[in-house]
Amino acid sequence: MNLYPLKFEPIYKKRIWGGQKLKEIFGKHIPPLEKIGESWELADLPDDKSVIINGEFAGQNINSVIRKYPEEIIGSSNFSENLPLLIKFLDAEDILSVQVHPDEQTCKRMGRGEPKTECWYIISAAPDAVIYKGLKKGVTKEQFSIAIKNGTAAELLVKVPVKPGQCHFLPSGTVHSIGAGLLIAEIQTPSDTTYRVFDWNRVDDTGKARQLHIEEALESINFDTAEVSLPVTTVGRLVDCEYFEIDKGHQAKNCETLLSPGKMKTLIILTGFGTILAVDGTSVEFKAGDCLIAPAAYEGAIRFADDTQYLTITLRVKNE
């Protein structure tokens, strides 16, 4: 089997806070006039599995192909159920709810949910754009609970001005929100468990407020997380956690870099375009807004036809 870089069909999600920036910046074929808040670029969840759109595996979902070739694609035969990675583009035309994702211990304690650790890479940002990242120092569970009831929960969050090129790490248990005017690449562990504590008093098109999960959120928030433990990075190694590593690359026009075999690499193309060329001469083209998997057994080179910025995600896969 001659494996090759895999490209995927995006899965679009309408959100009350979404917009049309994915079309404006990346040329995504999203439905006009609809509020598309999320484009799932790589997913392997029970109800959402990315479908391959190029080469011999076109039309098959990522899970079925990895099950056939686990060592060749992820670099390990230890593949039990799902690819441990979820990648999205988020278009926050409006502010997101204040929310938290549980950690593994909380999920076990409550007997439900899936843990999620994530990071946000800021692709574009409106002037004065902000995110909310963790609680202010010293805020207790009791204080935050009262603030939720009073509608003042956001006042206890750390408000962080953001700029394009920043990467913000958000381990599970971190209460957070994305402000308006941001396009973000979100790299995370594969979970869609989200507990909302405050939604800015919004209602949907039918006049109905979205469901909150206050009890679960209060149980999930890590109130001992200090602000200094939630760093921001801009160059080189952006994230190094127990689940994945993320590196930022920047190559000038007509440059080339090698893709060595051994580990699966997931590429998010932020700007530019080019070609991935295998040693046997076959090639796969890429452009800004693409997300590709370079299988562990693949060997080739990336040729950049334009000035290109990209992220490389490497999973921490446990071998048998």
Active site residue 196: yes
Burial group, residue 194, by CB count within 10 angstroms (0-12, 13-18, 19+) = middle
Residues 6+ apart with CB under 8 A from 32: 20
Residue 257 to residues 236, 254, 276, 307, Cα–Cα distance (Å): 15, 10, 10, 13
Contact 180, 92 (CB under 8 A): yes
* Candidate list 67, 109, 196, 237, residue with the active-site label: 196
Q: Are 92 and 181 in contact, with CB atoms under 8 Å apart? A: yes
Enumerate the active-site residues: 196
